[in-house]
Amino acid sequence: MPLLFDEQLSSRLPELVADLYPESLHVVAIGLAAAPDVAVWRAAAERGCTLVTKDEDFHRLSVLHGAPPKIIWLRIGNCTTQDVVTLLQGHVDDVRRFVQQNVAAFLELG
């Protein structure tokens, strides 16, 4: 269940949640720093990742195009990296169910 973290989120997140979300990546690690949203969207789909973002633009892309990729939209405003880790840890079962089902294209957490 690999996640791809958007640039607005800490590049440390893949290592901080590796126990629950193995093989997760950050856009900077795959050469997509400052890339357009569409490039990040395509990279997530090509790599079989669920895109994790705080950016509403990805929610719009999800509504327009559906999955893949699936989108986890973090609605938590300004927060620490640890707040994001805690949120993802607390919703690991929700995330697993979301990734495995075939109906919804985005999951809002906050």
What CA–CA distance (Å, rounded) separates 94 from 9?
A: 20
User: What is the tens place of the pLDDT at every residue in 58-88?
Assistant: 888 888 888 899 999 999 989 999 999 999 9
Q: pLDDT band for 18, please (50, 70, 90 cuts).
A: very high
Residue 43: predicted pLDDT: 96
d(CA 84, CA 28): 18
pLDDT of residue 65: 84
Once rounded to an integer, what is the mean pLDDT over residues 18-33? 96
Structural domain that includes position 100: 3-109
* CA 91/CA 47 separation, integer angstroms: 22
Q: What would the pLDDT profile of 51-60 be if each residue is shown by its tens digit?
A: 999 998 888 8
pTM summary value: 0.94
Question: How far from the centroid of its chain's Cα atoms is residue 21's Cα?
Answer: 11
> Six-digit token pair at 97?
């169910």
Number of structural domains found in the chain: 1
